[in-house]
């Protein structure tokens, strides 16, 4: 075989190998693109499904909020609530620089030192994705807010969440009415401490008895429950109004 034939065979072999390499590369790119497309579709689908679920829950809560608040969720007898707990409040006027963690003896807190800034009156319902920091919410308590904390058991229960959203909507609105000083927020595993065994919700209020307000007596009020109850929330808000607080009205400035 002449040199020319050998050279041609070598070129042909090189060209064949190059074609095979390019073909394999195209297959790898096609497989990679397909995998990326599947992942992207999965993410889009999951996001879309989550948004759809959130919107459905919002619609259900809007419909449920048309009922009297006492008819939303369990009755007081069915809610599995402990009696209201009262203990001396602490931390009045003790403002800690924003961002500095604060340890609270109670879970969740009903009083205590808190950050300089409070959560402005805007919304009445939060999830774990957008909840203000606990240290900021305690400042809201000082201004007379009542807070409904719900744990992860409730957060995983779609019906219970609809009930809480519906209850929160009863205190929602554009008017800056101190009577609506209510916030529903999650208490998560990242927070410090668990709710009492068997309880999944807590109502808290930083209360000043109007009959003893000249004596500087302040009370940390808590009530723990198993299930959401509009009747329980309504009674709590009536018993401990925003006006009976250490700094009533300040949170609405």
- Same domain assignment for residues 131 and 98: yes
247: exposed, middle or buried (Cβ count in 10 Å: 0-12, 13-18, 19+): middle
Q: Is 98 left (phi over 0), alpha (psi -120 to 50) or beta?
A: beta
* 217 confidence band (pLDDT: 50, 70, 90): confident
* 130 confidence band (pLDDT: 50, 70, 90): very high
pLDDT (0 to 100) of residue 14: 74
What does the mean pLDDT of the chain come to? 86
- Same domain assignment for residues 114 and 215: yes
- Same domain assignment for residues 50 and 81: no
Q: pTM score, two decimals?
A: 0.77
- Same domain assignment for residues 21 and 86: no
pLDDT (0 to 100) of residue 211: 79
- Same domain assignment for residues 18 and 141: no
- Same domain assignment for residues 117 and 93: yes
Question: Which two tokens mark 205?
Answer: 């209020």
- Which residues in 9-35 are b (16+ Cβ under 10 Å) and which e? eeeeeeeeeeeeeeeeeeeeeeeeeee
The residue count for the chain: 253
Instruction: Select from 64, 89, 115 the last residue of a domain.
Output: 64
- Same domain assignment for residues 79 and 160: yes
Q: What are phi and psi of 109, to 5 degrees?
A: -70, 150
* 179 confidence band (pLDDT: 50, 70, 90): confident
Sheet (strand 182-186) strand order: 85-88, 218-225, 201-208, 146-150, 182-186
- Same domain assignment for residues 50 and 116: no
- Same domain assignment for residues 41 and 88: no
Q: What are phi and psi of 8, to 5 degrees?
A: -65, -40
Q: Is the pLDDT of residue 46 over 60?
A: no
**Closest by alpha carbon to 163, among 52, 29, 72?**
72
- Same domain assignment for residues 48 and 167: no
- Same domain assignment for residues 27 and 152: no
- Same domain assignment for residues 134 and 46: no
Full domain range(s) for residue 48:
1-64
Query: Is the model more confident about 54 or about 140?
Result: 140
2-37 pLDDT, tens digit per residue, is: 666 777 777 777 777 777 787 777 777 777 766 676
Instruction: Select from 23, 44, 64 the last residue of a domain.
Output: 64
**The total number of structural domains that make up the chain:** 2
Instruction: Select from 15, 38, 64 the last residue of a domain.
Output: 64
């Amino acid at each position: 075989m002449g040199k020319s034939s050998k050279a041609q065979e070598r070129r042909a072999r090189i060209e064949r190998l190059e074609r095979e390499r390019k073909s394999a590369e195209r297959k790898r790119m096609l497989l990679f693109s397909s995998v990326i497309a599947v992942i992207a579709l999965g993410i889009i689908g999951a996001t879309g499904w989550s948004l759809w679920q959130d919107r459905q829950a919002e619609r259900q809560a809007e419909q449920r909020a048309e009922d009297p608040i006492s008819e939303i969720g369990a009755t007081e007898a069915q809610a599995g609530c402990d009696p209201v707990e009262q203990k001396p409040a602490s931390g009045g006027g003790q403002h800690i620089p924003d961002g500095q963690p604060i340890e609270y003896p109670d879970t969740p807190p009903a009083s205590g030192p808190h950050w300089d800034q409070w959560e402005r009156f805007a919304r009445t319902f939060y999830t774990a994705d957008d909840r203000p920091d606990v240290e900021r919410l305690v400042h809201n308590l000082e201004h007379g807010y009542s807070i409904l904390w719900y744990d992860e058991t409730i957060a995983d229960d779609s019906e219970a969440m609809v009930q809480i959203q519906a209850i929160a909507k009863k205190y929602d609105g554009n008017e800056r009415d101190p009577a609506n000083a209510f916030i529903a927020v999650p208490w998560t595993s990242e927070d410090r401490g668990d709710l009492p065994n068997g309880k999944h919700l807590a109502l808290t209020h930083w209360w000043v008895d109007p009959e003893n307000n000249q004596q500087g007596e302040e009370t940390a009020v808590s009530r723990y429950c198993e299930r959401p109850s509009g009747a329980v929330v309504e009674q709590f808000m009536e018993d401990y109004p925003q006006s009976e607080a250490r700094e009533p009205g300040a949170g609405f400035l």
